[in-house]
Structure 1
Amino acid sequence: MSFHKLISKIGSAILSPGSKKSPYDIWMMRNEPDRSQFKAMGSDSQSWAYRPLVSIVTPVYNPVKYDITRCIQSVIDQVYEKWELCIVDGGSDKSYVKRIIERYAKKDKRIKFVSLSQNKGIAGNSNEALKLATGEYIGFLDHDDMLAPFALYEVVKLLNQSPELDFIYSDEDKIPAKGKNIYLQPGWFREVFLSYNYLCHFAGKRYEPFFKPEWSPDTILSYNYACHFLVVRKRILDEIGGFREGYEGAQDYDLILRVVNKTNNIKRIPKILYHWRATLESTASKTTIKPLASAAGKKAIMEYIKCKGLEAEVLDGPCPTWYRVKYSVSSLQKVNIIIPTRDKVDLLKRCVSSILNKTDYKNYEIMIVDNQSIEKETIAYFNTLNNEKRIRVLQYDKPYNYSAINNYAAKSTDAQFLLFLNNDTEVISSEWLTAMLEFAQREDVGAVGAKLYYQDDTIQHAGVIIGLMGLAAHPYQRLPRSDFGYMGRTNIVQNLSAVTAACMMVRKDVFDEVGGFDEGLEVAFNDVDLCLKIREKGYLIVFTPYAELYHHELASRGRDDTEEKRTRSLQETTTVGNRWKKTVTDGDPYYNPNLSLDKTDFSIKL
């Protein structure tokens, strides 16, 4: 018995029907239709008023026999039958390729096939396949991947509900190769025996589902999360001229960015409609492959940014083919850093000192809003700040109300940007203010949040998910600072529905437009409420991991540990819950309905 067959048997035994099922196994059984339901789905689709032809475009070059067979069969097995499969072979030198495809084409007239005399590359081959397409919509399928049998059914079902859509994408997962291209890098033993994904790979199971957010214009510039299963209106593809040469390795990324420059009619289908075939070879080489793809991705992003009339540089992100878009910032833009405080001067000193010593952007002022401090040390510290040109101490002589304090401060500045900052924070990264200003200055952005850590270097804030743990909560809390979270989302710029006001930047005109903080929310959820008001006006909320601070949470206010505080907290939670009931019920667009609301780690919903 070969080594790989041995590992496969071990994987199959561990993952056999009698063994404990993974959360994803359970999710598939509970959420996906089985074959007994396909006939009814097909009959259902026959009754739809709108039944467009969908062209599936598949460029081919020297695929593995098993892979190309399964790929084609996955299209033939579609519940929605009004499709055509447009295959172009870029001059494969393996004789079985043409033979397999021609055999299928003879059996099913919906399959169109052209064999080129020479390989035109991935972009050229794809464009040749596009020339065969006559459908109103184009779906993209790689020659070694597979569609779920109900993929086109779900796409056309959505189009019947929203016929204006131009761009549709879905969730996806991975499937293993079948005995080909398997390569184990050094350290394979630990990988194979300790990684569920590797065992799934050898056992032939689907694994690593990617449950995606709704369209997120900043997230897509961090990495290409939308490429599978991608369906685009053909008219728009014709307008942009299809794929472009010179973007090899990121040609799909470039295509997506040019398409979304033409339309805002974009929708996600939160179902696994695409199975991406991942060999161990490709997985093992993720950290070393694709320098050309990375460069092509940067080039595509730069083109997109120029079309938007913005200035930026595109840097490498935390992983290959992930990116950081760093927008140009003018030093003429003034930021007012608002810090409410009451005594506990050591916290305030640390906060202010970290700003003064670690901030590379210099056009700011610090507005300390003193809420009835009485300790001598605090008053003495305020007196020492009289000579600091960039610091003002503003008196707020009323009972504590976080919203009222910040609204009062916002009215007392002519700065273009407001940075709400807790006094129990401490700057880590010198670019923190610049990193937030990059996005706050954009007209389409309403608020920007930072990445915050507890003192022990675990995550305190990497965004807020609406509906999580009830009304809203922070995901990833207490994970190590280095943890990437779900699909790297702790370490990328992304769009969210809300961010914490422990460190939040808002453009002053936006803040005024939505009426500032609701002063009826003295302590709890006033930041979530503010963000949702901003979103309601059509602005984006952005989280950037490049603004890093410590947040010694509750050090300044303490916990809600009295009956009075608990009553107030419950009232505020109820107020926000009632106000945004529909938003909570509909689900956070930057989360996914297949992910749990009862855990903060993006676990699968069961």
Structure 2
Amino acid sequence: MLAVHYGALRSAPVLYARCLWWRINGKRLRARLNLAPLLGRAPHSYALWLSREPDLKSSENDGAENVSILALVSEGAGQEKTLESAKREGFAVQLVSAATGDTLRRTIEQSWVLPLMSGDVVRRGAGARYRTAAFRADENVRIIYADDDLIDDNGKRFSPHLKPDWNAELYSHLDYLTGSAILRADGLMARALGGANWAAEFTRQVVQQSEAKGGEPLHLRSILHHRRTRPAAVLRPLPIVAGGREKKLPVVSVIIPTRNRVDLLRACLEGVARTEYPGRIEVIIIDNASDDPATLEYLEQLEPGFARVRRDDRPFNFAALNNRAATEASGDLLCFLNNDIEILDGDWLTIMAAQCQREEIGAVGARLLYPDGRIQHAGVVIGIGGAAAHAHRLLDRDDEGYFHRHSLPQFVTAVTAACMVVRRDRFFAVGGFDAERFAVSFNDVDLCLRLGTKGWKTLYEPRATLVHHESVSRGLDRDPIGAARQSAEVKALQDRWNTALDTARRGGERRARDPFHHPELSPLSEQFALRL
């Protein structure tokens, strides 16, 4: 294994040296957290992962063999290989062209349908997996989809897409269903079977039917398809914002805890003042025991009509400070904003507030960058490192990353309260931040998880992008007291939400699993690297 990855480690000597340093100093977990991304992104990592990929074992129930699946294959180069692989798996097959007639349109109502692009290959054993899943599925399930990878002319597999469980918001920007899902359609779908994009249109119509009937696509967490190409990601406009400047949005209470560091606070508030929001903004500043004369003078000179300042000299407790301010807020929406946030564009709050108006949404988080332009926050994944971590951290904002995930709006398990918008009534419906167990860390993660138990989803919105000078004013938890508090909060998160690494087992589900991550992505990497 070391020989396979030597090239990758040699190409990243600084990171490798850091891993060794942490290991020598007895910090095993920190060493593994630094090493896992290197291994998972190494040139031969997928070949190593494939060497231990389990075979697809059939576990069909009596009756599953009677599930009918029709493969609709587009005409084009490589269609013979596609047809052959579909027949091998026991699928009925039919070529689709612009001249497809009404007979086929009637036939699709009688079976599950698998749209396939010419040149794609169905993995051996996929038929049994699909039939078993279809046989066991609830009657409201109309879509069953699987993971996939790409295949070249020589049959070499690469670029695995280990997908999230159903994420409707992500699907609207990244079609990860078409060509790797079986579908059960109602109605003739007459319009869907003509034209170059028939498969994507057919899939989209079934998704709409599924949503209308309250069903949700079922995810098979196995690679069942080897593909030549995939649909491209598309960042679609936000309708309620585009052309909607005149639309009145609710009052937003922007809550900013601060302590000293007037330079950071001034930059943050200047950004708030430049914010273009079609509604009223209420700014509440919680001064947590500032003693710097320049900071005190600046706070005293703030216009009361622009911001209210509330003094709180108690020991730093991020959750308690924000809870107190929330009780005084008059806005229907609460925007929690760190004092070390630098605002880049004037429409950030309009975008977040508009999304937070959606009935299914509990909280909305922004994309945050380090000052050098790399990703600091693109949503939160629970279970990483035994607690929770920011997704895609340290990627350059212009990198593709993992299937453009850091650039696309999507549902996530949690977002950071460094820049978070949440409805005031829903914030209090779940009791606000837990100031007793999560005074400093994970209070935002815990809040989002509790919102989720009420059925309110958390949305990551990268079209609102800001800079975060992370922990500049508060500092890092390297002193014994801070380290002990951090350790206690990790333990509290593990106890409440079952995020501990030591209960995770390959192939098992004992550890709380983030539905928008994947069991075969490393629980030690924030960058969606393969689990090795």
TM class by shorter-chain length? 0.7 to 0.9
Please report how far the alpha carbon of residue 378 of structure 1 lies from its aligned counterpart in structure 2 after TM superposition: 2.0
Q: Which runs of 4+ in 1 moved over 6 A?
A: none
Write out aligned runs for 1:256-267 (5 A). 256-263=206-213, 264-267=215-218
1:97-496, aligned counterparts within 5 Å? 119-120=98-99, 124=100, 128-133=103-108, 135-164=110-139, 165-177=141-153, 203-234=154-185, 236=186, 238=187, 243=192, 248=197, 250-252=200-202, 254-263=204-213, 264-278=215-229, 321-328=234-241, 330-385=247-302, 387-496=303-412
Which residues of structure 2 form unaligned runs of 5+?
1-41, 500-508
Normalised by the length of structure 2, the TM-score is 0.83
Change in Cα spacing, 1:54 to 1:160, as seen in structure 2 (3 Å) is closer
Query: Which residue number corresponds to residue 594 of structure 1?
Result: 520
Q: Is 1:555 aligned with 2:472?
A: yes
Indicate yes or no: 2:452 matched with 1:535. yes
Match of residue 3 from structure 2: none
Change (3 A) 1:485 1:361: farther
Out of 52, 55, 61, the position equivalent to 1:30 is: 52
Tell me the amino acid that sits aligned with residue 255 of structure 1: Q
- Which letter does structure 1 place at the counterpart of 2:424? K
Shift of 1:416: 0.6
What amino acid sits opposite 2:192 in the alignment? F
Q: Report SS of the residue matched to 2:239.
A: strand
Query: Residues 400, 21 of structure 1: CA spacing in aligned structure 2 closer, same or farther, 3 A cutoff?
Result: closer
Query: Retained in 1: the 8 A contact 2:253–2:331?
Result: yes
Distance 2:429 2:262 in 1: 34
| 1:72 corresponds to 2:83 | yes
Q: How many residues align?
A: 474
Larger radius of gyration: 1
Residues 249, 354 of structure 2: 8 Å contact kept: no
1:500 is aligned with what amino acid? T
Aligned letter for 2:455?
G
Counterpart of 2:30 in structure 1 is none
Preserved contact between residue 447 and residue 541 of structure 1 (Cα < 8 Å): yes
Distance 1:528 1:22, change over 3 A: same
| 1:454-510 CA-partner distances (Å, limit 9, x unpaired) | 111211111111111221111322222322320001111111101111101111111
Deviation at 1:540, TM superposition (A): 1.3
Is the contact between residue 367 and residue 392 of structure 1 (CA under 8 Å) also seen in structure 2?
A: yes
Aligned position for 2:10: none
Q: In structure 2, do the counterparts of structure 1 residues 566 and 321 end up closer, same or farther at CA, with 3 Å as the change threshold?
A: closer
State the alpha-carbon separation in 2 of the partners of residues 454 and 475 from structure 1. Answer: 14
C-alpha displacement at 1:322, in angstroms?
Answer: 4.3
Shift of 1:394: 1.8
The alignment status of 1:603 with 2:529, answered yes or no, reads yes
1:55 pairs with 36, 53, 69, which one?
69
Structure 1: state its 5+ residue gaps.
1-19, 91-118, 178-202, 287-318
Change (3 A) 1:491 1:479: same
Find the residue that maps to 2:204 and give its secondary structure.
helix
Q: Report the AA paired with residue 550 of structure 1.
A: V
Q: Following the alignment from structure 2 to structure 1, what is the Cα–Cα distance between the partners of residues 317 and 423?
A: 22
Deviations 1:1-50 (A, max 9, x none): xxxxxxxxxxxxxxxxxxx982222222312317xx6xxx3xx42x4354
Name the % identity.
31
C-alpha distance in 1 between matches for 2:210 and 2:320: 40
Please state whether the residue corresponding to 1:31 is helix, strand or coil: coil
- 1:450, 1:545 within 8 Å by CA — same for their partners in 2? yes
Shift of 1:133: 4.1
Q: CA deviation at 1:345?
A: 1.6
How far apart are 1:569 and its partner, in Å? 0.8
User: 1:193 matched to which residue of 2?
Assistant: none
**What is the letter of the counterpart of residue 326 of structure 1?**
P
Contact 1:59 1:129 in 2 (8 A): no
Q: Give the whole-Å Cα distance in 2 for the aligned partners of 1:230 and 1:24.
A: 23
Cα deviation for residue 408 of structure 1 reads 0.6
Range with greater deviation from structure 2 (255-264 or 421-430): 255-264
Matched, 1:509 2:517: no
SS at match of 1:333: coil
The alpha carbon displacement at 1:424 in A equals 0.8
Using the alignment, how far apart are the partners of 2:226 and 2:163 within structure 1? 14
**Amino acid in structure 2 at the alignment position of 1:433:** L
Deviations 1:429-460 (A, max 9, x none): 22110111121111100111111111112111
Letter in 1 for 2:71: V
